[in-house]
Amino acid sequence: MNIGIDIDDTITNTYETMLPMIALKYGKNLDKLMAKKPSYRTLHSILPNFDKFAYENYETMVKIVPLKDGVVDILNKLRNEGHKIIFITSRNYKEYEDPYKISLDYLQRNNIPFDKLIVNVQDKAKECMVNKIDLFIDDSTKHCKAVQNKGISTLQFDTSFNSYTKRLERVKSWEEVYQKVQMMYT
């Protein structure tokens, strides 16, 4: 089957890497900032000139974000079992000079197996339909709900800042993703 996967906070720990840098840059207390669990969108509204900061710094930050535990092994196993891995990210031209290149370089440098990379996606539900996605994995409540509304199965990756909703099936690790895929599709 075709598995659509988000990048930031789904295969990587982007938020935990970025927030300390953002706190330093803006002279904010990290614990206080963390306690608010701001979404990326919230950061744009509560911090001055954050659009500019993002454009100037995200590229450097995402180069060093660590992968989540076990993700490379699990993606290799899934691919060896015949599934296609399609990355669908909303990394865009407002935040990156070249969102495709920065993402491709990262995936290749970290030996992440995949079949296709799609960037600058606003409407993930539409992109999932176009690419005939059977299972979609993302941390975003908004994207998971939109994709689920198209009748596509979703797994929401747990993060410290996304909202919990009963409607979405949630996973805490890539090992759990693998188990769910085995249960659903074998």
Task: Enumerate binding residues for Mg ion (CB under 5 A).
Answer: 6, 8-9, 139
Helix, strand, coil in percent for the chain, rounding step 5: 50, 15, 40
By beta-carbon proximity to Mg ion, the closer residue of 144 and 181 is 144
By beta-carbon proximity to Mg ion, the closer residue of 164 and 183 is 164
Give me the least distance between CB of 133 and Mg ion, in Å please.
16
Q: In whole angstroms, how far apart are CA 165 and each of 79, 141, 183?
A: 30, 8, 22
Give me the least distance between CB of 186 and Mg ion, in Å please.
27
Distance CA 51, CA 179 (A): 39
By beta-carbon proximity to Mg ion, the closer residue of 80 and 164 is 164
By beta-carbon proximity to Mg ion, the closer residue of 9 and 127 is 9
User: Is residue 114 exposed (0-12), middle (13-18) or buried (19+ Cβ within 10 Å)?
Assistant: middle
Distance CA 152, CA 166 (A): 17
